[in-house]
Amino acid sequence: MDNCLTALDNAIRTVSGAAHASRPAPGNADLRAPALTSDAKRLSGALMRVNHVGEVCAQALYEAQALTARSEAVRRQMEHAAREETDHLAWTADRLEALGDRPSLLNPLWYAGAFAIGLAAGRAGDRWSLGFLVETERQVEEHLAGHLDRLPPEDHVSRAIVSQMKTDEAGHADAALAAGAAPLPAPLRWLMRGAAKVMTTTAHYV
């Protein structure tokens, strides 16, 4: 019951925008950052909305995987990753506000879907759950690298946030590999890519 109440509280905080970072946002101290044009702000806002959706999903995934973990070590690993993802969630939310943009209107739906996927991954067993974490984070790394290519060069703050997120995601994947993650079958990896493509394309606008 306690775990369920904690999961519910985390869901409410995530979709309501009540998350708080434990680390300062990268780039926020850069007083030399130039003012952005309206087109640059619009592009940065759309990309950071997509990144914020990714962090909403990460909270749901790791919460569900922690709930279904069979070993205490894997549970702690999921909870540690979720805490760092909370920083990302807060950073991207704050950056959206600074850009005069908004989070995705579909965040409750994204959270619910990701939570269901996380439950399925966790119930498959710890090695498969860790393997799912690895594949998720590798795809997120690739996605963030693409955003670093697309973000306006003058948007130093957004670029610093995305760069730190990319570093953290790589660390999560490496830790899961070291913990004994099982490699996922290719069809499942392709399915994950397809689902991520639908989500990111939709979140860019909605």
Q: Give the per-residue pLDDT at 8.
A: 63
On whether residue 44 sits in a domain, the answer given is: no
On whether residue 21 sits in a domain, the answer given is: no
> Along the 206 residues of the chain, how does pLDDT read in single tens digits?
566 666 666 777 787 777 888 899 888 756 566 789 999 999 999 999 999 999 999 999 999 999 999 999 999 999 888 888 999 999 999 999 999 999 999 999 999 999 999 999 999 999 999 999 999 999 999 999 999 999 999 999 999 999 999 999 999 999 999 999 999 999 999 999 998 999 999 998 88
Among all chains, which residue has been given the structure tokens 């101290």?
A: 29
On whether residue 153 sits in a domain, the answer given is: yes
Domain count, the chain: 1
Over residues 106-156, the pLDDT tens digits come to 999 999 999 999 999 999 999 999 999 999 999 999 999 999 999 999 999
- Supply the range of the domain harboring residue 89: 52-203
Q: Give the per-residue pLDDT at 92.
A: 96
On whether residue 182 sits in a domain, the answer given is: yes
On whether residue 79 sits in a domain, the answer given is: yes
Q: Provide DSSP, the chain.
A: -HHHHHHHHHHHHHHHT----SSPPTTTT-TTPPPPPHHHHHHHHHHHHHHHHHHHHHHHHHHHHHHH-SSHHHHHHHHHHHHHHHHHHHHHHHHHHHTT----TTHHHHHHHHHHHHHHHHHT-HHHHHHHHHHHHHHHHHHHHHHHHHS-TT-HHHHHHHHHHHHHHHHHHHHHHHTTPPPPPHHHHHHHHHHHHHHHHHHTT-
The pTM assigned to this predicted structure is: 0.91
Q: Provide DSSP, 12-67.
A: HHHHHT----SSPPTTTT-TTPPPPPHHHHHHHHHHHHHHHHHHHHHHHHHHHHHH
Q: Give the per-residue pLDDT at 10.
A: 73
3-15: b or e for each residue (b if 16 or more CB lie within 10 Å)? eeeebeebbeebb
On whether residue 7 sits in a domain, the answer given is: no
Among all chains, which residue has been given the structure tokens 């979709």?
A: 15
Q: Which CATH number covers residue 67?
A: 1.20.1260.10
